[in-house]
């Protein structure tokens, strides 16, 4: 069996960049080539936008390095089919679309709208903690 394919929600990617903790542990497993990260062009654009939020106080150098790392280590997919699943926050559909397009095994998120789905098609939707507990 190959490596598990995962989609990290943008909130998990931001947490992995900015702080120590479980998101960084998951991200480090991707860097160590234990997991395959999948991202869409749409999510990369969202990540660029969120990295610029003033509340995060990332330097231009940090933002550029992180975007380069994510782009280099990810399998980048094109979203061909738009979904309308998360009524409360339609922006979250990007994450589901990326996962479906890439046939991902997991979506790892901190977003309550996605987490309450628990599963979409055959894709498990879990927190970093849940993922690390089941996949050590």
Where are the domains positioned within the chain? 5-134
Do residues 112 and 92 touch, judged by C-beta distance below 8 A? no
Q: How much is the pLDDT for 90? A: 67
Q: What is the CATH number of domain 5-134?
A: 3.40.50.1010
Do residues 15 and 23 touch, judged by C-beta distance below 8 A? yes
Q: How much is the pLDDT for 48? A: 95
The rounded distance, in Å, linking the Cα atoms of 79 and 102 is 9
Do residues 40 and 78 touch, judged by C-beta distance below 8 A? yes
3-state secondary structure 69-117: HHHHHEEEECCCCCCCCCCCCHHHHHHHHHHHHHCCCEEECCCHHHHCC
Q: How much is the pLDDT for 120? A: 94
Q: Which residues of the chain are modeled with pLDDT < 50? A: 1
């Amino acid at each position: 069996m190959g490596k598990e394919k995962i989609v990290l929600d943008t909130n998990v990617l931001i947490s992995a960049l900015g702080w120590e903790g479980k998101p960084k542990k998951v991200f480090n497993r991707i860097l160590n080539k234990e997991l395959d990260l999948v991202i869409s062009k749409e999510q990369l654009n969202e990540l660029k936008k969120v990295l610029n939020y003033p509340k995060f106080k990332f330097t231009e150098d940090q933002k550029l390095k992180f975007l380069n790392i994510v782009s280099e280590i990810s399998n980048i997919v094109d979203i061909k089919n738009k979904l309308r699943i998360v009524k409360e926050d339609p922006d979250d559909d990007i994450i589901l679309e990326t996962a479906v397009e890439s046939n991902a095994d997991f979506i790892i998120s901190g977003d309550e709208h996605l987490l309450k789905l628990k599963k979409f098609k055959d894709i498990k939707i879990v927190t970093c903690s849940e993922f690390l507990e089941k996949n050590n």
